[in-house]
Amino acid sequence: MEKALLQAKEAAEAANRAKSIFLANMSHELRTPLNAILGFSDLMSRDPQLSVDQKDDLAIINRSGEHLLSLINDVLDMAKIESGHIVVQEHPFDLHHLLDGLVELFRARATDKGLTLLFERDPAVPRLVVGDESKLRQILINLLGNTVKFTDAGGIGLRVKTDSAGSLSLSPLSISFEVQDTGPGIAPDELDAIFDPFVQSARGNKTIQGTGLGLSISRQFARLMAAS
């Protein structure tokens, strides 16, 4: 009996690895031509002889392509996580530059929806930090993207602060990132499952955007960085 259970477990794990490898390879094959489409459409949009209608059409191509690329990247990240191929890559980077870039990006998106964006950064937050810049950026993009997506009126906010007590000691400085919005929020009975892959809130299920992977990927990235 134990031997049969062990064989079944090994078969399931092998199937899961095969699925993750397939998704990773397929995502890569899809991203290559999509990046080419986005690149050429961007070049075409710079042609001064284009009519207004042609520029609008190219803008639709770009927006649709960027959305599709984000979905593919989510699937690729989840496949890498499941296959154990995601690793933390720490190096020194400019945290202020990262935050300012994200604020500029999401302020434009918020303005397009008639929302305000509040950004607060504790003066004690250091400029140069050591960590995985790419994963931190992806977490913040996922969280801020949700605030814009599901907020119809009011505003969104990003607050970055430090543990002031820790800054006076020799221990590593703790930096916290808080994202807030005036959207409908998440129902209490959905909180336990909202971080599961492919799960969206009731509000999210009413939209056609997203894979339901953003929060799951963000949590996995945060756990990986916390454990490093």
Report the CATH number that the domain containing residue 111 is assigned in CATH: 3.30.565.10
Domain termination site, one of 65, 82, 99: 82
Number of domains into which the chain is organized? 2
Residue 103 corresponds to which tokens in the numbers above? 């604020």
Alpha-carbon distance of 212 to 210, in angstroms, equals: 6
pLDDT of residue 181: 94
33 touches 78 (CB < 8 A): no
Asked if residue 141 and residue 206 are part of one domain, the reply reads: yes
Asked if residue 198 and residue 108 are part of one domain, the reply reads: yes
Count of Cβ atoms closer than 10 Å to residue 190 Cβ: 15
Asked if residue 131 and residue 44 are part of one domain, the reply reads: no
Alpha-carbon distance of 50 to 58, in angstroms, equals: 10
Asked if residue 215 and residue 111 are part of one domain, the reply reads: yes
Q: What is the pLDDT along the chain (228 residues), one digit of tens a residue?
A: 677 777 777 777 776 667 666 766 776 677 788 888 888 888 888 888 889 888 888 888 887 787 777 777 777 777 777 767 677 889 999 999 999 989 988 888 898 899 999 999 999 999 999 999 989 998 999 899 889 988 999 999 999 998 755 444 555 678 999 999 999 887 787 777 777 766 665 555 555 455 667 888 888 888 888 887
pLDDT of residue 45: 85
Q: Kindly give, in sequence order, each residue whose CB lies less than 8 Å from that of residue 69, ignoring residues fewer than 6 positions away.
A: 31, 34, 35, 38
Q: Which of 210, 110, 190, 225 is nearest to 158 (CA)?
A: 110
pLDDT of residue 121: 95
Report in angstroms the alpha-carbon separations of 127 from 104, 120, 178. 17, 15, 18
Asked if residue 123 and residue 73 are part of one domain, the reply reads: no
Asked if residue 210 and residue 180 are part of one domain, the reply reads: yes
Asked if residue 58 and residue 108 are part of one domain, the reply reads: no
Asked if residue 97 and residue 26 are part of one domain, the reply reads: no
Domain termination site, one of 34, 58, 82: 82
Domain termination site, one of 39, 61, 82: 82
pTM beyond 0.75: the answer is no
Asked if residue 72 and residue 95 are part of one domain, the reply reads: no
Report the CATH number that the domain containing residue 33 is assigned in CATH: 1.10.287.130
| Residue 14 lies in domain | 2-82
The residue ranges of DSSP E strands in 57-187, in sequence order, are: 91-94, 116-121, 128-131, 155-162, 175-181
pLDDT of residue 167: 46
Alpha-carbon distance of 128 to 92, in angstroms, equals: 6
Alpha-carbon distance of 13 to 198, in angstroms, equals: 20
Tell me how many degrees the CA angle 34-81-8 measures, rounded to the nearest 5: 120
Q: Which of 210, 138, 216, 227 is nearest to 177 (CA)?
A: 138
Chain centroid, CA 45 distance in Å: 27
Alpha-carbon distance of 117 to 196, in angstroms, equals: 28
178 touches 99 (CB < 8 A): no
Asked if residue 24 and residue 101 are part of one domain, the reply reads: no
Count of Cβ atoms closer than 10 Å to residue 137 Cβ: 15
Asked if residue 217 and residue 112 are part of one domain, the reply reads: yes
Asked if residue 187 and residue 100 are part of one domain, the reply reads: yes
